[in-house]
Amino acid sequence: MYSNKNEGPRRGRSFDSMNIGFEEKLLNNEINKSTFTKIEENSEKNNTSEKGRATIIFSLKNEVGGLVKALRLFQENHVNLVHIESRKSKRRNSEFEIFVDCDSNHEQLNEIIHLLRKHVNVVDMDPPDNSCLHEEDMYDVPWFPKKISDLDKCANRVLMYGSELDADHPGFKDNVYRKRRKYFADLAMAFKHGDPIPRIEFTEEEVKTWGVVYRELNKLYPTHACREYLKNLPLLSKYCEFREDNIPQLEDVSRFLRERTGFTIRPVAGYLSPRDFLAGLAFRVFHCTQYVRHSSDPLYTPEPDTCHELLGHVPLLAEPSFAQFSQEIGLASLGASDDSVQKLATCYFFTVEFGLCKQEGQLRAYGAGLLSSISELKHALSGNARIMPFDPRVTSKQECIITTFQDVYFVSESFEEAKVKMREFAKTIKRPFTVRYNPYTQSVDVLKDTPSINSVVEELRHELDIVGDALSRLNKQLGV
């Protein structure tokens, strides 16, 4: 339980045994007085870079109005109360202790302690810890998006293809196809966070190409795809019109994913750098192409297209455990060195793109590159492919091949196992901070100093309080 700094102190749960009702009224009156307003107005003048979070625990002496007098001292000395609650004393069963969190520097803390001793018994205190990173420690950290709208700054840095095709691309000599590709690229380049994804009227040729891929892959899925994929594909058929004769609209798919796992789709013109692509995953944003491969060879594409994205990636992005696994790789990449990002991207490649798992004693595919490629899906599960256990330290050094089958495929017992291994691997990445995704603001909190870490701790306390309340109610229902 905590209070916003600008709201002033709030009481804890158990003041009643200290005859606190009367004092609480007095306290509320004090908080509403102009004295407190003046303190708020002057807070910037009194805040210095030396301030940090301090904790004071005290018990009341046997005098009327002791609590109000004590708290008034914080107001008069311009010390901002962040959190206040009462606790049953661990020292004397008959007493309660007041636990106060405040913003204070060492000088203020010493002064307030001296004044408090006249009215209360100070039991314990934890002086402010002003540990933090110096700005020079952040100089060499590559730029990374801090909020979801920052993806607008990097989503258009396409490295390959887009509206331009290589000479060996199946559609290179097809002017109609090239014009169509430019249309899709322009739509993606114009997209900004918050925009609805443009709905596409696909051509008859595009729908036919999609239909061939959809039909042939669905023959293999029952015996080759993991159970999570098989569970989610029918849901996509029901809610997003995944059908042989229809190419789903990305806006419909994005809404479906948002409700399932919080992931959303963002259209992209072509290949992004590993850093820019993984940064999107940190915000549960999947950069997705909207164009269709060339019709001359429906079962081959030299690049990700909408068949690969929708049939390979989307069904598993609708799975909570897999969605979290993907996001954690993205979060680990933010602010990491180029070498570390490459290692993370390689792990992503051999899991999210070409990963295998074991289910009911059988190998099954969960990688999108496999689940959208008929020939490689058959090869990976043929018994002739080289299979190794997924270990990020080993996997991150493996060469990624995009023109032929992989030399080796990595298998995990489950998404949870892969997630645990990636978490441990992410801890080895050298950067002077860690990050945490805030789903309420769709931003990342950079944890680099004591106040930022304390803020997370306060939120976790609140979440644990909710869990504790739920368990208490459940125990009452069960008669425990």
For residue range 207-230, what is the model confidence (pLDDT) as tens digits?
A: 999 999 999 999 999 999 999 999
* pLDDT for 185 beyond 90: yes
Question: Which amino acid makes up residue 188?
Answer: A
- Annotated catalytic, 372? yes
Residues 6+ apart with CB under 8 A from 125: 54, 55, 56, 57, 109, 113
- Annotated catalytic, 333? no
For residue 431 the two structure tokens come to: 């950067």
pLDDT at residue number 129: 52
Question: Which amino acid makes up residue 153?
Answer: K
- Region of residue 127 (phi > 0: left; psi between -120 and 50: alpha; otherwise: beta): beta
Predicted confidence (pLDDT) per residue in 320-342, tens digit: 999 999 999 999 999 999 999 99
pLDDT at residue number 50: 53
- Annotated catalytic, 462? no
356 vs 386: CA distance, rounded Å: 12
CB 412 within 8 A of CB 357: yes
Select which of 83, 119, 294, 313 is catalytic: 313
40 vs 53: CA distance, rounded Å: 17
Select which of 86, 104, 372, 443 is catalytic: 372
pLDDT at residue number 111: 80
196 vs 152: CA distance, rounded Å: 14
pLDDT at residue number 383: 93
Residues 6+ apart with CB under 8 A from 45: none
| Residue 231 binned pLDDT confidence (cut-offs 50, 70, 90) | very high
Quick one: 299 exposed, middle or buried, by C-beta within 10 A (0-12, 13-18, 19+)?
middle
Which helix (H) or strand (E) segment holds residue 447: the answer is: strand 443-447
Residue 264: helix, strand or coil by DSSP? strand
pLDDT at residue number 155: 92
* pLDDT for 136 beyond 60: no
pLDDT at residue number 377: 96
- pLDDT (average), residues 267-273: 93
Which helix (H) or strand (E) segment holds residue 36: the answer is: helix 34-41
Residues 6+ apart with CB under 8 A from 259: none
Select which of 97, 228, 328, 353 is catalytic: 353
Query: 479 or 248: whose pLDDT is higher?
Result: 248
70 vs 162: CA distance, rounded Å: 66
Query: 171 or 200: whose pLDDT is higher?
Result: 200
Average pLDDT, the chain: 84
**Distance from chain centroid for Cα 229:** 22
pLDDT at residue number 8: 31
* pLDDT for 252 beyond 50: yes
Least confident of 2-6, 158-162, 186-190: 2-6
- Annotated catalytic, 14? no
| Residue 101 binned pLDDT confidence (cut-offs 50, 70, 90) | confident
* pLDDT for 45 beyond 50: no
Select which of 308, 328, 376, 396 is catalytic: 308
pLDDT at residue number 139: 63
For residue 17 the two structure tokens come to: 């045994």
